[in-house]
Amino acid sequence: VIRTSVDAPPGSGLGSSSALVVALVEALRSVLGVPLGPYEIARIAFEIERVELALAGGKQDQYAAAFGGLNFIEFLPGGRVIVNPLRVSRTLLNELETSLVICFSGISRRSEDIIAQQMKGMTMDSSTALNSLHQLKVDSIDMKQALLLANIPEMASILNKSWIAKKETASGVSTKRIDELSAIAFEHGALGCKISGAGGGGFIMFIVPPEQRVSIVRALNSSGGLASGVQFTSFGVESWTIPSKNL
């Protein structure tokens, strides 16, 4: 018997479904004693979700869950994936961690319709959606450089630019509720924001001044959101065994 549980609400945009599949692959790997590394675990999880179950989406969530830590992940032609760990000082990680707030919009959503629109836009030359996706790719490279230079205000600026581009990839990426919560956060000092996942609901991520993080969290929660700080992890998927109990 396999039982599973996930802390994140369904449709959160946090990649929880992919993380769960990665965890199941790792658990079965451990039970069967199969020597699989994180690349193989992520690939198998991707094939289960996207090929066998035909669930729409990319492959970034599987690799993020399998590897953990702070990485720049490249998705290359032919299905090749390269996970590049970023060497960031503990001081910068602490500063970045205290500069982040996530807030659940209260809306769980299915991402299939938004992803279908984005995929359709990718097949149309010079479409707004395609140009916006190219912008998101450029922004990811710029974000890596800003992080390595410890320029958190620049990261917030890039995040805002990416949020504008993301909203142009498909209709429904943002909602009235997401816009309301974002406006509240900016009124209390937030520097940048972007929705997690495909959009349409789920969690919003904010970059904020550390000294204003608590007031921003309180303002969002007072407005009906579910906001909190974040905590980084340097480890990817893990499994362990405990002695069976004779009942």
Q: Which sequence positions are flagged as catalytic?
A: 61
Considering only CA atoms, which of 207, 208, 216, 220 is closest in space to residue 180?
220
Q: 3-class DSSP state for residue 44?
A: helix
Cβ distance 162 to 127 under 8 Å?
Answer: no
Q: 3-class DSSP state for residue 193?
A: strand
Q: How far apart are CA 50 and CA 58, in angstroms?
A: 8
Tell me the residue type at 118.
Q
Greatest C-alpha distance within the chain: 65
Residues 6 or more apart in contact with residue 83 via CB below 8 angstroms: 38, 39, 63, 67, 71, 73
Cβ distance 49 to 25 under 8 Å?
Answer: no
Helices of type H across the chain? 16-32, 38-46, 60-67, 90-97, 112-122, 128-148, 152-167, 176-187, 213-222
Q: How far apart are CA 100 and CA 228, in angstroms?
A: 9
Residues β-bridged to residue 85: 71
212: DSSP letter: G
